[in-house]
Structure 1
Amino acid sequence: MIERHPFERFSVNAFQKNKKGIDCCGDSFFVNETDNTFFCAVADGLGSGEAARKASQAAVKAIENFQNEPLERIMTKVNGTQRGLRGVVLSIFKLHLKSGVMEFCGVGNVKLKIFNEMGEWLRPVPKPGILAGQVMRFNIQRLKYPQNGWFAMYSDGIAINAKDTPTLKYLLHAESSDNIDIDPLLHSISANIVDDMTLLLGTPTKKSLLR
């Protein structure tokens, strides 16, 4: 199933699949756009099932509530939600639309790849570890988002290599109404077909390309 999030400056296609035999996904995500920023995050609750989903949903709720705060403060708030829960790995990026500068912060193995018009990618590196309520310092990486660049953010059920670019671009531009069998496409880029999978694919809209 394709879950589309069409904003004024960005359009995002989201894909999720539960771990085999589990009736809910332990991953959660958040995307939003304001006049000044585009915001994207994926949280992967440790393990699977309801406990993992509860942890990832708590993380995403904190992100939604504090999205206008500095990224380091958002991460601190998310970390605080995980006391007594399973814990999460998480990546967030916040793109300042006027300047084209993006900020990235990640803990654990949720990955982000940003593709430029030549097909080359930028890959900010998350910090090892998990968010589980312990005191932690966060690394904020800042870089220039490539003009007309598109991105993939994904949990560890997905593994993306250079050969997967055509599949990603196909999914990036797919419509909810398209009659697409998603499962074989997700399996073709899966690291572990029995794990939860979350894949977000986003691109600037044609009418408002980043400059």
Structure 2
Amino acid sequence: MIKEILREDRIEVLVSQSSKNDMPYCGDGYFFINTEDYFLCVLADGLGSGKFAYESSFAVTEEAKKYHDKGVESLMAICNSTLVNKRGAAVSVLKLYYDTKEFVYSSVGNIRFFLYNPESDKLVYPLPVTGYLSGRQQKYHTQRFKYEPNAKFILHSDGLQLQGAKAILKTYSSLEQNAKVILQNNPIHSDDTTLILGSLLS
């Protein structure tokens, strides 16, 4: 189910989210913000499902709202510290800087990120770091990627089984078309599922 769409001068974003078996609580949480200088997106997948999973992911996104101006590693540490005495969550933090035309990305757990650069026809796919955030001290693997004009990206929780990301991002022009194709291939709601699609317009 499409939950939110952002259309601005430099970026478009579409978010689709559904809960496991249409339960009242979704264990996935997300937050994004677009400013003059950067775009930030945080996706959290609380362990398990139901209310306790929701509480973990909600805690992460609330911290991201408060500290969205921080760097990616700092945000990961802040999100981690808020999960003390909670169930824990897989967390990805993605920050795009318009002046340097680069993404900075860090993730722990089963969340996937794809970046498609159309000029070079290359798909960037950072390998996920296993585990989850739970308040324990942890090292974060932060990576930087350049993006090209009209680049597209996908961030999704593990409720979605995505194959052929490059073909989808390359073939279909609009985010709505991209989302439709991806979601048609994933009709089973046996887990909380969040899909975030983005397109860079310059």
- TM norm. shorter chain > 0.5: yes
Q: Structure 1: how far apart are the matches of 2:128 and 2:65?
A: 21
Residue 137 of structure 1: CA displacement?
A: 1.2
Q: Structure 2: how far apart are the matches of 1:163 and 1:91?
A: 18
Aligned to 1:95: 96
Following TM superposition, the consecutive aligned residue runs of length 4 or more in structure 1 with deviations greater than 3 angstroms are: 163-172
Are the aligned partners of 1:59 and 1:81 in contact in 2 as well (CA < 8 Å)? Answer: yes
Q: Which runs of 5+ in 2 are unaligned?
A: none
Residue 9 of structure 1: CA displacement?
A: 1.4
Are the aligned partners of 2:27 and 2:49 in contact in 1 as well (CA < 8 Å)? Answer: yes
SS in structure 1 of the partner of residue 160 of structure 2: coil
Are the aligned partners of 1:106 and 1:125 in contact in 2 as well (CA < 8 Å)? Answer: no
- Once the two structures are superposed, the pairs formed by residues 35-50 of structure 1 within 5 Å of their partners are 35-50=36-51
Are the aligned partners of 1:172 and 1:202 in contact in 2 as well (CA < 8 Å)? Answer: no
Question: Which one of 124, 128, 131 corresponds to residue 129 of structure 1?
Answer: 131
Question: Which one of 172, 197, 204 corresponds to residue 200 of structure 2?
Answer: 204
Are the aligned partners of 2:101 and 2:147 in contact in 1 as well (CA < 8 Å)? Answer: yes
Q: Structure 2: how far apart are the matches of 1:112 and 1:83?
A: 26
Alignment pair present for 1:186 and 2:187: no
Report the aligned-residue RMSD: 2.4
- Once the two structures are superposed, the pairs formed by residues 105-116 of structure 1 within 5 Å of their partners are 105-116=106-117
Q: Structure 2: how far apart are the matches of 1:134 and 1:169?
A: 42
Residues 100 and 35 (structure 1), Cα distance of their counterparts in 2 relative to 1, 3 Å cut: same
Residues 109 and 84 (structure 1), Cα distance of their counterparts in 2 relative to 1, 3 Å cut: same
Aligned to 2:19: 18
TM-score (ref. length: structure 1): 0.85
- The residue identity in structure 2 corresponding to 1:201 is L
Deviates more, 1:21-30 or 1:196-205: 21-30
Q: Which runs of 5+ in 1 are unaligned?
A: 176-180
- The residue identity in structure 2 corresponding to 1:162 is G
Residue 84 of structure 1: CA displacement?
A: 1.2
Residue 151 of structure 1: CA displacement?
A: 0.5
- The residue identity in structure 1 corresponding to 2:45 is D
How many residue pairs align between the two structures?
Answer: 199
Are the aligned partners of 2:116 and 2:166 in contact in 1 as well (CA < 8 Å)? Answer: no
Residue 169 of structure 1: CA displacement?
A: 6.4
Are the aligned partners of 1:187 and 1:193 in contact in 2 as well (CA < 8 Å)? Answer: no
